[in-house]
Amino acid sequence: MATEAAVDTGLIALNASLDWIPVAGEVVMIGTGVYLAGDFLYHHWKPFHDIANDIGHGTVKVVKAIGSDVARHWDSFLNDWGL
């Protein structure tokens, strides 16, 4: 709960500091709104929470598989060059 408040405070401060810049202020404001809306939905609407978790777990699984393949091929490359 305290971390969420810190993130929210940081976003509001960023929004306030960039609000006077014509385009940056709007972009930060929209980004802050999207983040806060997503955070609210994640914590208060179970179907959204479940879908977000599934997407997050799937993303981690894919990134781990890619990292594993890259590491394996990199080791093979280094062995082929005698390094």
pLDDT, one tens digit per residue, over 15-72 is 778 777 778 878 888 888 898 899 999 999 999 999 999 999 999 999 999 999 998 8
Which pLDDT score is estimated for 1?
61
- The residue assigned the tokens 């955070």 is 39
Output the pLDDT for position 22: 78
**CA 17 – CA 14 distance, rounded (Å):** 5
pLDDT at 73 over 80: yes
Q: How do the domains of the chain map onto residue ranges?
A: 1-44, 46-83
What's the predicted TM-score (pTM) here?
Answer: 0.58
